[in-house]
Amino acid sequence: MKKKLLFILLSACFALGLCGCGGAGTDEAKLTADCQNGNFVGEVDKETDVIAFKGIPYAKSPTGDLRWKAPQAPEDSDETFEAKEFGKTATQYSWHSEPAGENEAGVGEDCLTLNVWTKDMDAENKPVMVYIHGGGFAWGGTADPLYNGSTIVEQHEDVIVVSMNYRLGMFGEIDFSKVQGGEDFPDSKNLSMLDLMQGLTWIQENITSFGGDPENVTIFGESAGGAFASLLTASPDAQGLFNRAIAESGCVNLTFDQEDFDATGTTEALLEATGAKNMDDLMAIPEEELIRIYTEEDLDGEGTTLNDLYNMPYRGQEGIVEEDPYETLRSGVGKDVDLMIGTNADEWRYWINEMGDVEMTEMDEEGIEENMAVYEEAVAAEKKEEAYAVASDRDKENLDKFFQLEQIKDLDEIWQNTELGNETGFRMGAIEAASCHAEAGGNTYMYYFDIPSDNFDFVGACHASEVAYVFHNEDETGFSGTVDKDLADQICEAWVNFAKTGDPSVGDIKWTKYNIDERNTMVITKDGLKIESDPLGDQRQLLQPFAKYYLK
């Protein structure tokens, strides 16, 4: 009787999928998102219980006849695919601060994929946060552990995080207008922008399968990603693809006009390195050879590669990036998008690491001196020389006054010049974008991040140092140094609250909107978050006349 009862119980278990055979199918069904271009199976992160979907294609592969062409929507499919590994990183050479270049899938042209992190596939209408990685328009990728979206979702189960790869460098922005056959490649100067717009279109059409709300999408990004977040806000053709934008340390001034494109010489260098005479020749080059030339070819005998001659988005393609993105914002394009924008206190100090030959994590005293010397000559001093070179006599007087400000004059010259770079390279552009957006009637919030890294005392709150706080990735200390968990809680929550409601206030900390009268700004320091009116206003006012030189 007992054997018969056991047999009945076991049979029932198998029928219900509780004893192995049916269980796997049931689990897989709960981890599958049915999308327009396939049914994608994710997996659960055992440490966080967050479901991750990786390497989902949001466009056709931009290879073969689609090289240097605008992205195309993927084909419809009802096939099932595993989505458990990151897709290829956009073509780039390996660099110590961009670990996505060492992605297991490798680098290549077939890089138009995205990743989704969510907690509950049965939920509906979750706000969606879409991250756009930085990397100077030529490096970076979603496989970078700093951008692991599971950490945000673990803290805030009611949101979904997405990250997108896009084409970089000469694969993302290059000018073929003067090359024979180039007329067939009219979008080549803005392929990165078009990739991101196609990714956002895919999200609009498919995010409900992951429990997301296509009517509550926030884009956020840092450096080049911040530039794209603000450019998409100012792009007429991108309106309706998202509702909110967060631009961290990057703005619409990070663009090229035709004169800038001509000055880089990227197209000419490509033709010389490949021996190509026309577009047919370029299109015929096998991917492996083009990647080799792009990442390894020595152009000047000193290690310069085509990857070093990266371009920025083209300013002047109607509907995509307008001729004057600031004026576009001021005219009201993007006013229905809630905007949060800000910069870090010591942006330019990031390049102490990037400009030298010694990786910051491996620096000894000799390495510090070596990197500092390269930085001082190539970045800090250059900013001062450039400013005086373009300035009128009256503007030079303002520059003189800037260097005599109480908070500036007692600094070593290298840090005086660095502070000028912080203003002209980053903060000035962000303030102008915030002002234009607010004047047009848009909901606008501004921040100033000033939590110094403890990696080295000279790094300060450098470029990218806020990202570990935003993602709540306390182990990724390369830029931020030791991450204060309580501050990470507040900063991550502020970003999430903004994505949910358009208001980044946290608990009792009221984050008031930005306008050109009060210029209320959330100042984020090791002591916490506090609203200040027009922080560093004396610097802003003295350098305001320089906007005509730098914001174009």
Residues paired with residue 244 on neighbouring β-strands, in sequence order: 218, 338
**Strand ranges of the sheet holding 37-41, from the earlier edge strand across to the other edge:** 32-35, 37-41, 77-82
**Burial of 433 by CB count in 10 Å (0-12 exposed, 13-18 middle, 19+ buried)?**
buried
**CA-CA-CA-CA torsion for 90, 93, 94, 99, nearest 10 degrees?**
-20
Instruction: Find the angle CA(409)-CA(523)-CA(426) to the nearest 5 degrees.
Output: 60
Among 61, 97, 188, 223, the active-site one is 223
Our answer to whether residue 453 is catalytic in this structure is: no
CA distance 268 to 466: 37
CA distance 94 to 111: 16
Closest listed residue to residue 149, CA positions, set 470, 451, 502 = 470
For helices 21-30 and 2-16, what crossing angle results, to 10°? 30
Phi and psi torsions of 17, nearest 5°? 75, 30
Residue 199 neighbours by CB under 8 Å, 6+ apart = 58, 59, 112, 114, 130, 164, 166
Residues paired with residue 219 on neighbouring β-strands, in sequence order: 130, 245
On whether the CB atoms of residues 391 and 383 are closer than 8 A, the answer is no
Query: Which tokens go with 124?
Result: 């509906």
Residue 204 neighbours by CB under 8 Å, 6+ apart = 214, 217, 241
User: Hey, how many other C-beta atoms are within 10 angstroms of the C-beta on 24?
Assistant: 10
CB-based burial, 165-195: b 16+ in 10 Å, e otherwise: bbbbbbbbbbbbeebeebeebeebbbbbbbb
CB-based burial, 374-392: b 16+ in 10 Å, e otherwise: bbbeebbbebbeebeeebe
On whether the CB atoms of residues 121 and 211 are closer than 8 A, the answer is yes
**Burial of 223 by CB count in 10 Å (0-12 exposed, 13-18 middle, 19+ buried)?**
buried
CA distance 392 to 407: 24
Return the amino acid letter for 398: N
On whether the CB atoms of residues 449 and 465 are closer than 8 A, the answer is yes
- Active site members: 223
